[in-house]
Chains A and B, each alone.
Chain A
């Protein structure tokens, strides 16, 4: 199955693009997908928050076909 991944801020710059269609195995969680796509590195650990279909979810949220996934880097609004 496929999910649409949206990249923002520091992750957009690391990915070099702002969105992507990604193949994932059924049952994959949003936290697992993040670790697979952005392995922990010297650049530091990343987001505390995840969104699926534009709503915050926990890291163990299972993904479904055609979900819109966003890894949320530390916020800077205000």
Chain B
């Protein structure tokens, strides 16, 4: 499951997409809208994606993850449109035979997503708005 959605993400549904008998660990990660950034109050976020390419890049991350941690399985769902404070903008589920690779793979997926998947975020404040770039960038060789 590699998808964009403009409605609230069902975390359990994403986790169920990677659940299987061989996996002893399932980790879900939620990126959640904060109510503040650099001291400014955030009302909500607005996400925009390059539909088509975004899903393809998410799937490529899934394939790369499996090549790095054989036996892992990945699902990613990213919100687009308005995301209110406290709601998840992205949900990542990773399953693996053991917890060590599940934790490592989950971290790799979110870091790579932030550097590769064509999605943009606008923070909307009470008194304005701004496009916000990810500060984190992973190694370009991860492609």
| Complex contact B89–A78 (CB within 8 A) | yes
Interface range on chain A: under 10, 10 to 19, 20 to 34, or 35 or more?
Answer: 10 to 19
Contacts of A8 in B (CB 8 A): 48, 50, 118, 120
| Complex contact A70–B90 (CB within 8 A) | no
Contacts of A37 in B (CB 8 A): none
Among residues of A, the one whose C-beta sits closest to the C-beta of B143 is A56
A66 contacts chain B at the CB level, 8 A cutoff: no
| Complex contact B50–A77 (CB within 8 A) | no
Q: Which residues of B contact A (CB under 8 A)?
A: 31, 47-50, 52-54, 56, 78, 89-90, 110, 113-122, 131-134, 143
Partner of B119, one of A10, A70, A75: A75
A6 contacts chain B at the CB level, 8 A cutoff: yes
Q: Which residues of A contact B (CB under 8 A)?
A: 6, 8-10, 12, 51, 54-56, 70, 72-78
Among residues of A, the one whose C-beta sits closest to the C-beta of B110 is A78
| Complex contact B50–A78 (CB within 8 A) | no
Task: Take A8-B50, A10-B131 as given contacts and tell me if A76 and B120 are in contact as well, using a CB distance cutoff of 8 Å.
Answer: yes
